[in-house]
Chains A and B, each alone.
Chain A
Amino acid sequence: MNRSGLFAQIDLRRVYRRRKIVNTVMLSLTGLATLLAVIPLVWITVYVLIKGGASINLDFFIHLPRPMGTPGGGVLQAIEGSFVMVVLASLFSIPPALLAAFYLAHSPNTPLANALRFSTDLLSGVPSIVIGLFGYAIIVVYQKHYSALAGGVVLAIIMLPVVLRSAEEMLKLVPKELREGALALGSPEWRAAISVLLPAAAEGIVTGIMLAIARATGETAPLLFTALGNDNYEIGNIIRQGIHYHQSLGQIIGNIVSQPTDALPLTLWKYAQQPYPERVQQAWAVALVLMLFVLLLNIVARLWLASAKRHRR
């Protein structure tokens, strides 16, 4: 009796020690995994900084590409193209996204609201390449050529769920009393939404838009067969030509958005696979520009959002 009790005690002590060891080992492993996950981020960032930093200069930002195999030249066409398409995408996506978010804030429990939330979730999960196919089918096929317009539309579809989701979240954080107060003062619903709710949620909505823009700027796949790429895309030239031929402002804008257009990630993709070392170097420089832009937007947006949320409480 006594003996078996003693044995049981020794056994328990051993079990206890084993449990403690397992505990320490497993918890340290989770820390180790976290450490390992940080490595690729640091590795990529440092590598892009070094390689990209070495081949970046002023020419890079203000010149069009030179013929393949000759050094020098820049990626002005890609910078301008990215800018044009992101502006178009913002114009196409932000107003409907905000309106839909207001719909969710206004009537959160209707069947349409549930359907809307579900489709937003699904939309953000659709592979961007499929959205590219869609853009090709609805615009490129009818226009019969690739264009910044088509690129802008597919990027807008990618931005839409991001903006919608964050706007919905931020509108939810606005106290109900604000809206009710505006309504009690006799303002119509739309006035309350635009002059009270929107300013109250503005910080959060703007950060959502910034994140969406960051995503759209880095997106390549849907542009492959909507914008296609164009080494000679230069807005300055298009405008000068337009003035020379006495075109109206509408025609000039039409010319800007209706021709094949380059974008930074498209250029990166093309240059990365070329056998010319100058081009590969420029690809690294493009990667640097893209990464700085995207990461900065992300960092600013998240810091801003955190402070906005803190103020709200």
Chain B
Amino acid sequence: MRKASTPPQTDGGWRAALTRRLEHGDLIWRFALSLAAIATVALIIWIAWSIWVDSAPSRQAFGLKFISPWAKQSWNPVLDKFNAWPAIYGSLVTAFLALLIAVPFSLAIAIFLSELAPPRLRGVLNYMVEMLAAVPSVVYGLWGIYVFLPLVVVPLGNLLAATLGKVPALAIFFRGPIPASGLSRLGAALILVIMITPTITAVSRDVLLAIPRSQREASLALGATQWETVWKVLIPYGLSGILGAVILGLGRAIGETMAVTMVIGNTTGGGYSILRPGYTMASIIANEFAEAVSDMHASALIEIGVVLFAITLLLNAFARWLVWRVNRRTVGR
């Protein structure tokens, strides 16, 4: 009887004392949880630090001239002289061209999915959009080389060269001829359109769906047509979220590697024309890093990785912030 009245904390030997000290394992548990959380945060810092350190030789040798469009030196592994502008230009032009086409498309699809499609159709289409995002990018690349380039890109490229290529002001961007294989910046941009449309669509659909019903009802009650409701009420309401979706898409387009590497032709030449082959930042790393001819070459490629990392990091942080702001506002009401 005496034993039962004793509080359990006070009896037992060293084992019980240890258990108490560890709060029955919770101290270890909390330690493990915090450790995993800190490690995840540390990981991204480690990635940044690691590539920053490894790019030191190139940074010291070339400084800001490395990313300058006006630098005299070109990308020359034999002479160990490196200027990343052709790759940066390739990334920018393919990503922006892809956005130019993908954004209206994705917005239209998002509107259709959130406002018009009957529930059953919406379910199926949502699946399809997600599947489109899930297809591995090498598969896009393979399909691109053997189907998409010859059947779509080459005829389109020839058409552009024959029309816009003749306009004096635009000739620099549309100078033909497009290679017979179709390997070109245009091909890369069009493949990117297919690859980033699901991203932009999914995020802007969610933004539209998060807008309160009252907004739609108020607008329709005022006599606006459904399109006017979408265009003048919903889109302005969700604008920063949609902008976030677009920027996420841009981030994906700039970071996308394999499909682009397979269809862009991989050369540092090509001038400024979108009908010529080129490089993007991701594709030059993919194509040359494993066979880098010198330490400086590897270091220059890693520095391109740093630029790529910095750009996507900024874009993502900005996009998340925009989407987060919209969601917070919507929940607040």
Contact = CB atoms under 8 A, between A and B. Distances in A.
Q: Which has the most chain A C-beta neighbours within 10 Å: B104, B139, B197? A: B139
A126 B44 CA distance: 9
Contact-residue bracket for chain B: 35 or more
Contact of A134 (B50, B313, B320): B50
Interface stretch (A61-69, A213-221, A232-240, A249-257): A213-221
Contact of B290 (A131, A160, A220, A225): A225
A127 B140 contact: no
A174 interface: no
A99 B35 CA distance: 9
Interface string B127-141: 111111011111111
A122 B137 CA distance: 20
Given A34-B112, A40-B132, A103-B37, A189 B316 contact: no
Interface string B103-116: 01100110111001
A91 interface: no
B251 interface: yes
Nearest to A293: B136
Given A119-B44, A137-B51, A269-B262, A100 B132 contact: no
B43 A272 contact: no
Interface stretch (B59-67, B79-87, B223-231): B223-231
Contacts of A217: 136
A252 to B, nearest CB: 28
B251 A290 contact: no
Given A34-B112, A220-B258, A48 B143 contact: yes
Contact of A127 (B23, B132, B197, B309): B309
A146 B148 CA distance: 34
A273 B313 contact: no
A123 B309 contact: no
Contacts of B130: 298, 302
B141 A26 contact: no
Given A104-B37, A133-B302, A265-B258, 6 more contacts: A22-B225, A113-B37, A125-B316, A127-B282, A131-B47, A269-B258
